[in-house]
Amino acid sequence: MKLLTKELEKKLPALYSTDEIDVHEKLIVCKFFTPDSSWTWYAVEYDDGVFFGLVDGFEKEWGYFTLAELESARGNLGLPVERDMYFTPKKYKDLF
């Protein structure tokens, strides 16, 4: 599965372009997850292989992650990261 399609890339705002938006109002555009562990990445912005968004791993925190990291990461059983094909964009405040 291709994690980032051209169509999806066009929907993601450029890095730093949502800095003025309150964290609760930020739009989560896409979701990536490990099917065999509890890690999830929620992308808000993207530029040249780098995402900004929410990472839900050992704890929930906002930060940067790369497409290369997602492509190389594996879960407990060795399964690769997948993109949630059924995820619909939503504001952070509506995520949980």
pLDDT at 1: 76
Give the pLDDT score at 13: 98
Q: What are phi and psi of 35, to 5 degrees?
A: -70, -15
Domain parsing of the chain, residue ranges: 6-94
d(CA 40, CA 31): 7
Determine contact, residues 49/67, Cβ cutoff 8 Å.
yes
pTM of the model: 0.94
Look at residue 16 in the predicted model and tell me its pLDDT: 97
Walk along the chain (96 residues) and give the pLDDT tens digit of each residue.
Answer: 799 999 999 999 999 999 999 999 999 999 999 999 999 999 999 999 999 999 999 999 999 999 999 999 999 899 999 999 999 999 999 998
